[in-house]
C-alpha cells in the first residue's frame, strides 16, 4: 500500500496547481500567491522524491536513516513557506511588519 504514496503526492501537487493558480488575481499580491502555491506543490513532490533519491544513492542503512530525517526538513519547510506566502498574499505592503523591518 505504501507504493501509492508517490503517485498520490504527485497528483496532489498537480491538483494544488490546477485548483489554486486561477485564483491568483483575487489577491492584492498575485505574484506572492503564485510563488506560495508553486512552493507548496513543489514541496509535496520533493516530499517523496528526496527520500527516494537518498535510498537509491546511499547504501549504508545507518547513514541513510539519519540523512532521511535531515532531508525531510526541506520539503516540510517548503510546504510551510509556501503556506506562509499564501497567507500573506492579501496583505498590503504597509501591513507586513517583517518586510518593513528587513526589506524583503
pLDDT for 104 equals 52
pLDDT of residue 94: 63
* Domain span holding position 45: 32-89
Q: Is 94 within the bounds of a domain?
A: no
At 34, the pLDDT band (50, 70, 90 cuts) reads very high
Q: What percent of the chain has pLDDT over 90?
A: 64
Residue 28 has a pLDDT of: 87
Residue 40, domain member (yes or no): yes
- Tell me: the pLDDT tens digits for 55-100? 999 999 899 989 999 899 999 999 999 999 998 888 766 666 665 5
pTM (two decimals): 0.82
Tell me if 67 is assigned to some domain.
yes
CB 64 within 8 A of CB 54: yes
At 96 the pLDDT is 62
Distance of CA 21 to the CA centre of its chain: 15
Higher pLDDT: 28 or 92? It is: 28
Cell 502555491 belongs to residue? 37
5 burial via Cβ count (<10 Å: 0-12, 13-18, 19+)? exposed
Q: In this structure, is residue 97 part of a structural domain?
A: no
Is residue 47 situated within a structural domain?
yes
Crossing angle between the packed helical segments 30-57 and 5-20, to the nearest 10 degrees: 170
CA distance 17 to 104: 25
Q: Is residue 19, in this structure, part of any structural domain at all?
A: no
Q: Is the pLDDT of residue 37 over 90?
A: yes
Asked if the structure places residue 84 within a domain, the reply is yes
In the prediction, which pLDDT does 17 show?
A: 94
- Helices and strands per DSSP (H, E), number in the chain: 5, 0
Domains contained in the chain, number: 1
Asked if residue 14 is part of any domain, the answer here is: no
Gap between the Cα atoms of 85 and 83, Å rounded: 5
Amino acid at each position: 500500500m505504501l507504493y501509492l504514496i508517490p503517485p498520490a503526492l504527485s497528483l496532489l501537487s498537480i491538483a494544488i496547481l490546477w485548483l489554486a493558480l486561477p485564483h491568483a488575481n483575487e489577491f492584492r499580491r498575485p505574484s506572492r500567491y503564485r510563488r506560495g502555491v508553486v512552493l507548496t506543490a513543489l514541496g509535496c513532490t520533493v516530499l517523496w522524491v528526496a527520500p527516494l533519491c537518498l535510498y537509491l544513492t546511499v547504501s549504508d542503512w545507518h547513514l541513510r536513516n539519519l540523512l532521511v530525517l535531515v532531508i525531510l526538513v526541506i520539503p516540510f519547510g517548503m510546504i510551510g513557506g509556501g503556506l506562509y506566502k499564501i497567507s500573506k498574499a492579501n496583505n498590503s505592503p504597509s501591513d507586513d511588519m517583517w518586510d518593513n523591518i528587513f526589506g524583503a
